[in-house]
Amino acid sequence: MIRRMLNFVLSPQNALLKAWSNTKLGSFKLRLDYDAFPRPHYAYCVYFAAQQARALGMDRISVLEFGVAGGRGLMELERIVEEIEKEFGVEIEVWGFDTGEGLPEPEGFRDLPYIWQEGFFKMDQESLKSKLSRAKLIIGNVKDTVPSFVDEHRPAPLGAAIFDLDFWSSTCDSLQIFDGHEDTRLPRIFCYFDDVSSAEGGGLLNEYVGQLASIADYNSQNEVKKIAPIAGMRSIRKIQAGWNDKIYVHHDFSHPEYNHYIHSSKDRQLEI
């Protein structure tokens, strides 16, 4: 009964939840349980990436946002990583990838040009840079910037990634971030794909176009690395929301740390 009441009072549309999301009342995990963040999907990915890193004995990770646009998501990342760093003792780098000039020209039907057009979501670079305190911008088309990113910038191992590039082609290019040596990433990377759910009468998304096609292509091309949604994600959340269906995890089954036991319980036994 209490849980049902909380779920009603703290539903995503409720004014009380929106007010709570602008405060730091309660622990980070409590607020995460009830979506008390402007972008709970960002908080979820970064929180569990940092938790995994600590369990693996790592002291630093990177969080990437592909498709910065106006920059509100990147600024939200800056806010939440400060709290998560204190909780887990893991340093978190924040990186944002964007052309700076809006969407590039669509490359055929897979890029859904009936929804997205060249020049959408242009960035005001100078204004955004003046508002950022720690995030670093990588400006340029991801097909050019991603392949050289690790060698050029030497980021901490990747722990979480936000994909909001809209296009099939750009998302495919951004997924090259997983091609580097295993030292460049955690064995499991928490991902948010913004464009994998349809809008009524408009999006009509499927595995043959857009980000869903990008994920399908990646999985078909890799035997020991797969991108997959978390099974039963909605059932494990106290507050069920649309973003639950957009959380995926990049699994590197060949990663030397993939089988490392990460849970706090060291002896799981059941009494008769």
Domain ranges of the chain: 26-252
The single-letter code of the amino acid at 228 is A
Residue 151 tokens, joined:
């060698």
- Where the chain has pLDDT below 50, the residues are none
Question: H or E element: which one contains 218?
Answer: helix 210-221
pLDDT of residue 24: 74
Tell me the longest C-alpha to C-alpha distance in the chain. Answer: 65
pLDDT of residue 81: 97
CB-CB contact of 97 with 68 (8 Å): yes
**Cα(33)–Cα(2) distance, integer angstroms:** 15
pLDDT of residue 263: 84
Q: For 26-252, CATH number? A: 3.40.50.150
Strand partners for 137: 96
Residue 34 tokens, joined:
């009830």
**Cα(31)–Cα(20) distance, integer angstroms:** 8
pLDDT of residue 16: 73
Chain centroid, CA 202 distance in Å: 24
Residue that is written with structure tokens 């910037």 in the block:
145
pLDDT of residue 7: 57
pLDDT of residue 233: 92
